[in-house]
Structure 1
Amino acid sequence: MRITKFRVLNGEIDIKRLFILTALILTVVAAYYFISKCSMKSTGSEELVAISKADREDLDVSKREYSSWAYRALLDDFTFRKDINYQLKIAILDSGIDGNHPDLAGRIKKEYNAIDNHNSVKDEFGHGTAVAGIIAANHNDKGIKGINPLAAIYSVKVSNGKGVSEVASLVRGIEWCIKEKVHIMNISLGLSRNSEELKRAINKAIKAGIVVVAAAGNNYMTWTDYPAQYPKVISVNAVKHDYAVDETYAGYGKIDVAAPGEAILTTVPGGGYKVFSGTSIATAYITGMVSLIMSENEAKLRSMEGESRVDETLSLLKRKAIPLGEEKSYGMGFVKY
């Protein structure tokens, strides 16, 4: 077979070698980017890393309640109904949550340290508190507005003070959630490769009827993280103000839906607020939206068991999605009430 060649400067490179070289370079660049962006720490074991960190400014919202572009885009015409119970059990598997934050007061129902049950569940990294604010911040005329301020939050600490978690910790956290019979698990964490131990735990949760919402990952549009890549896990990608995907904080491949993930103000430990970007935040928004959908369809879902309840919830979610483009980037589209 004839090999096509490109002429480069004063030499010749055959196209096969060029493609191989290019692939190697892209692999190295992607690996470097993943490590630097997600701050992955090498401990000799499989690890998961928080998808995004606070990286911008502190803002004073003590005198008013801030309604983000994301909240308005998602819940433009939504009104909480008095005849519906929105108090679903939502587990946030992350770095812990600062339950003393004014916007999260009264929201934390139970806590569990899956790293070491004898230690504190204090959020030393800030990521879990940020995720919790997006999902369930109180509507108290100051700070920010959570998607479901009536939710019962179950804080599961699986990440250490550097935002890193071993798979074993996440698995223990999932098993605790199954025992507690939570309705939804938010996993704004990502693993670049499959873990059979994690997959078994996720499948067990789904068979128990728990809806799992996970971040697609900030992988420069190269792949989707685990557990988001597993079947029946709701994989969430992030979009910007203009509903376009920003490749610096987006996954690619197995995507179910998209949600806001750019410049989002949310809660941080100590009573403050910072701006976050990334699929972690988008995932939190979808978790909140799922809780509203499940609440409003409670009678129908209650009649179902296990995986069928999970399947129906995903179907209901996708019906609210507005198509935006390529399915590997946007899934069924942007979810909106």
Structure 2
Amino acid sequence: MKQVFLFYVILLTGFFIYIELAEFDTKETIVAIVDTGIDPTHPILEGHVEKGYDFFNWDGDAMDDHGHGTHVASIIHSVAPNAKLLPVKTLGQDGSGIGTSFIGIFYSVVKGADIVNLSMSEVSNPFTSWVIRWGERKGVVFVGASGNDGRTDRISFPASLGEVIAIGGYNTYREHLYENGNRSGDVEFLAPGVLIEGASLGGEVVRKTGTSFAAGSVSGMLAYFKEIQPHMTNDDARFLLRLTSFYEKDGYRVLELDRFLATQ
């Protein structure tokens, strides 16, 4: 255990030195998507995807071979078409990771991301907790999916962290909570999460269900807000989201995404 800890400390320190010495263009609103990567050749996303990094295979090609990240990215793009999408691949072809999410989040922050979308879950760990707290202090806004285990006592990590805006799913077809979405007092907002249309591999468009896609729409909303309010903090983001939401009967704030899109 000590050897693993030392390895990560050395790796993160070296990576920090490299990033601090590099120069990055951060003039536009950038949304980092820590996920399975993004397919930049999809017609919906072509020209909007920045060069990211693959922390699963450790190379510079963050191409999606699963489909989840591409779907999330297209949802963000549909809400904030001017935002640049930064693919940060930490999950593989089967959707599982190898413990490098915290490095991907660190990379997102130093690469200049304004918003980091975390439509993923992992075992709670101090590395991810620390890097998110560090990023939040630097003004980065984090959005996380509550998870799809149907739990009512807790939500998934890292959405459970106070620095992350935790998003649950809402079924707009039946006008109630998404049944399989994790929900507890830690969920701050609900967004559409059932049969959400988005880009898929091979240039296709499909519909998927889950809190991941609810989180994606919120990241898109915040990217749009960021263009209007460049110095937006986590507190500002929560305030702006409250202005575009209403209370659902179970006490959760539901974001009115359709009304928001109609005003653009």
| Band of TM-score, shorter chain | 0.7 to 0.9
Give the aligned residue type for 1:324: E
Q: Does the alignment pair 1:231 with 2:162?
A: yes
Alignment partner for residue 92 of structure 1, among 33, 42, 46? 33
Equivalent residues of 2:52, 2:60 under 8 A apart: no
Give the unaligned 5+ runs of structure 1: 1-85, 137-145, 303-308
Name the SS for the 2:213 alignment partner: helix
Following the alignment from structure 1 to structure 2, what is the Cα–Cα distance between the partners of residues 278 and 272?
19
Alignment partner for residue 258 of structure 1, among 186, 190, 197? 190
Name 2:14's counterpart in structure 1: none
Following the alignment from structure 1 to structure 2, what is the Cα–Cα distance between the partners of residues 183 and 120?
22
Q: Does the alignment pair 1:117 with 2:41?
A: no
Name the SS for the 2:241 alignment partner: helix
Give the aligned CA root-mean-square deviation in angstroms.
Answer: 1.7
Following the alignment from structure 1 to structure 2, what is the Cα–Cα distance between the partners of residues 297 and 118?
34
Equivalent residues of 2:241, 2:255 under 8 A apart: no
Aligned counterparts, 1:57-76, within 5 A: none
Following the alignment from structure 2 to structure 1, what is the Cα–Cα distance between the partners of residues 42 and 170?
28
Aligned counterparts, 1:10-159, within 5 A: 87-118=28-59, 120-136=61-77, 146-159=78-91
Name 2:239's counterpart in structure 1: 315
Q: Does the alignment pair 1:333 with 2:257?
A: no
Q: Cα distance, 1:274 vs. partner? A: 1.4
Q: Cα distance, 1:310 vs. partner? A: 1.9
Equivalent residues of 2:52, 2:61 under 8 A apart: no
Following the alignment from structure 1 to structure 2, what is the Cα–Cα distance between the partners of residues 101 and 178?
25
Name 2:248's counterpart in structure 1: 324
Note the alpha carbon deviations across 1:174-231, whole angstroms, 9 max, x for none: 111121121000010013x421111111111111111000000112133211111101
Equivalent residues of 1:101, 1:269 under 8 A apart: yes
Q: Following superposition, which runs of at least 4 residues in structure 1 exceed 6 angstroms of deviation?
A: none
Note the alpha carbon deviations across 1:4-37, whole angstroms, 9 max, x for none: xxxxxxxxxxxxxxxxxxxxxxxxxxxxxxxxxx
Following the alignment from structure 1 to structure 2, what is the Cα–Cα distance between the partners of residues 111 and 213?
19
Q: Does the alignment pair 1:207 with 2:129?
A: no
Give the unaligned 5+ runs of structure 2: 1-26
TM-score normalised according to structure 2 size? 0.82
Following the alignment from structure 2 to structure 1, what is the Cα–Cα distance between the partners of residues 162 and 133?
9
Give the aligned residue type for 2:237: T
Alignment partner for residue 293 of structure 1, among 225, 228, 231? 225
How many residue pairs get aligned? The number is: 230
Following the alignment from structure 1 to structure 2, what is the Cα–Cα distance between the partners of residues 119 and 297?
32
Note the alpha carbon deviations across 1:106-137, whole angstroms, 9 max, x for none: 0112211122333632211110011011111x
Equivalent residues of 2:30, 2:114 under 8 A apart: yes
Note the alpha carbon deviations across 1:84-113, whole angstroms, 9 max, x for none: xx9410000100111000110101122111
Following the alignment from structure 1 to structure 2, what is the Cα–Cα distance between the partners of residues 268 and 190?
21
Following the alignment from structure 1 to structure 2, what is the Cα–Cα distance between the partners of residues 262 and 156?
25
Following the alignment from structure 1 to structure 2, what is the Cα–Cα distance between the partners of residues 333 and 264?
16
Following the alignment from structure 1 to structure 2, what is the Cα–Cα distance between the partners of residues 216 and 317?
17
